[in-house]
Amino acid sequence: MDTQIIKTKLNIPQIHPNLVSRLRLSDQIEAGVQGGNKLTLVAAPAGFGKTTAVSTWVHQKNRKVAWLSLEESDNEAALFLIYLLASIRTIWPDFAEDAFAALTDSPPAPVSTLIPTIVNELTELDGTLVLILDDYHVITSQEIHETISFLLEHQPHQVHLVIATRADPPLPISRLRAQRLLTELRTADLRFTSDEARALLNDMMGLELENEDVKMLETRTEGWGVGLLLAAQSMQGRIDKSEFISAFSGSQHYILEYLKMRK
């Protein structure tokens, strides 16, 4: 299989130096990894900071992390598995050498025949591996879902999977939840609290808003991070910020433009 690996898909996203501190989210992710859970599911609509939350945790903790940013073009099972192995090989360059070669042959070996071998090699890893699949909602291939489900069913104790997605994928989530092997960060967790909204609006954006205005804007945006940021950008340079906040709603044209771009 003639495949050119796009290395930037394997890069852990950088975080803004003035990012609002949301340690509570990092603590939730870390608790799941330390507690031996198999999966951390970060699921929320666009603009709630899923990627930022996970990448911030990565930069704060000293762990071996394999990152894969997914795209719609990754819906071919062999290509998906090539990228998954490539992400792990950024840490262990010789990992699953035979399986990787078999996938890059022409034609590639069937994915179903390689997964048991890959799982067995994961059991031999030295140390904990956190495998992060970002934007998993773009994956529609049933074969890929079955591959990840097989991994979750047979996952070695030293491997932890993190999935960031806009919608729950067809994976054994209910079973993992019942077994207490699942950590979940949902929309309610990712919403900005009043203190976080104040830090974003006043400390990061320099708006010097009164507490009442911060609370009103947080309520109007329902703690939606992008909504707060876009509103803050629109308020810069305005004299009567309270009047803007009183009139603010989710129907503002820049909010609709963002949602249109992220469909």
User: Count of H helices and E strands in the chain?
Assistant: 13, 5
**Alpha carbon distance 76, 95 (integer Å):** 21
118: Cα within 13 Å, side-chain hemisphere: 25
Low-confidence ranges of the chain (pLDDT < 70): 1-3, 249-263
* Sheet with 129-134, side-by-side order of all strands: 64-69, 129-134, 159-165, 39-43, 182-185
Give the C-alpha separation, 227 to 221, whole Å.
6
Name the 3-class secondary structure at 210.
Answer: coil
pLDDT value of residue 259: 47
Locate CATH 3.40.50.300 in the chain.
7-190
**Dihedral, CA of residue 47, residue 49, residue 51 and residue 53, to nearest 10:** -170
Q: What is the pLDDT of residue 263?
A: 45
User: Which CATH code fits 7-190?
Assistant: 3.40.50.300
How much is the pLDDT for 219? Answer: 87
CA-CA distance, 214 to 208, in Å (whole number)? 10
Q: Is the peptide bond prior to 110 cis by the omega test (within 30 degrees of 0)?
A: no
d(CA 168, CA 43): 7
What secondary structure letter does DSSP report for 41?
Answer: E
